[in-house]
Amino acid sequence: QAHLVESGGGSVQAGGSLRLSCVASGYTVSSNWVAWFRQAPGKEREGVAAIPAGAGGSTTYGDPVKGRFSISRDNAKNMVYLQMNNLKSEDTAMYYCAAGFSGRGWVLRPASYNYWGQGTQVTVSS
């Protein structure tokens, strides 16, 4: 059974940076797509970034974060990261790591993933 744990969230001022981490157990993060999602109060869960299996594939980003966020993976540590730069107040949300891509649908669609972490809160103040 896959188990994902996120960390690295916190409070930061607008324009600042944070790096989120997701460590997996019972699952190899390099074996399939892994993604980050976020959900703000009263809003639907939104795809932020996704990284494909293996090496050399193209990452995918949601439009609101393109050019500011970067997803990466450390296969040796079985971890996935989300580097977030130039944070804005609208980035405030709970951020979730997801794995176990079903192979159906878009890689930034929440229903496409089977395994989820408990989330880490990011709060950006203006």
pLDDT digits 0-9 by tens, 33-87: 999 999 999 999 999 999 999 877 899 999 999 999 999 999 999 999 999 999 9
pLDDT at 55: 79
Bridge partners of 113?
Answer: 101
| Rounded percentage of the chain residues whose pLDDT exceeds 70 | 100
pLDDT at 34: 97
Mean pLDDT of the chain: 96
Q: Dihedral of CA 106/107/108/113: which sign?
A: positive
**H helical segments located in 1-126:** none
pLDDT at 54: 84
pLDDT at 56: 73
Q: In whole angstroms, what is the distance from residue 96 CA to residue 106 CA?
A: 17
